[in-house]
Amino acid sequence: MDPHGRVIAQLTIPLTWPSGLYLARVQATSSQVAPLTIPFVVRAQYPGSQAEILLCIADATYAAYNFWGGRSLYGFTTRGIYWWSYGPSLDPYHGQYQIPRAFRVALSRPYRDEFSFPKWQQWEVPLIRWLARNGIAIEICTSTDLHKDQANHTDLLKNHRLLVSVGHDEYWSKETRDNVESFASAGGNVVFLSGNVSCFKYVSI
């Protein structure tokens, strides 16, 4: 999609692709435009058919911190400089930097990290590589998938024995938490290799 939400390219996922975190690299025809890396998750066609372990990619959290387009839930950028909005109770500059920030963000935006190093490269990718080196099979989903699990009747969690959260899995919806807690109460296992988990609640997707 372009900045106006118009579809400019499509990719049909072959049924033979295994569940995983994939990175698509988009290169503009102009050499003056930087290439863009687009992460996307492929879920198993039949949940649980490839592995008993389900790793969650924290896409809702990454959308909150995404500065693409100039604003995130935490501040904005101008002339290449990132400015953070702390909130009145946390601002060490006594209101000097209470500049506008976003109050709603879209999951469909391209990604721009404040540190120029995508968060999934810091957290999920090293774990995925370690699991692969040790021959441990996994399937992958997003936090959005967990949010919609029961509503879409996908039984995503029910078909796995273990759910793994890693890194910085901060933003959860009520539906996500309810679905994960129901999974654990029914005998499922959940491991958090992460901090600041389920700290903020978002209300819609």
Phi, psi of 191 (to 5 degrees): -125, 135
How many CA atoms lie within 13 Å of 39's alpha carbon, on the beta-carbon side? 21
pLDDT at 65: 76
Is the pLDDT at 99 greater than 90? The verdict is: no
pLDDT at 88: 52
pLDDT at 84: 60
pLDDT at 197: 82
CA distance 194 to 30: 40
Better pLDDT: 195 or 188: 188
pLDDT at 97: 52
DSSP state of 94: T
| Span of 41-50, 143-152, 157-166 with lowest mean pLDDT | 143-152
Is the pLDDT at 179 greater than 80? The verdict is: yes
Q: What is the 3-state secondary structure (H, E, C) of 16-46?
A: CCCCEEEEEEECCCCCCCCCEEEEEEECCCC
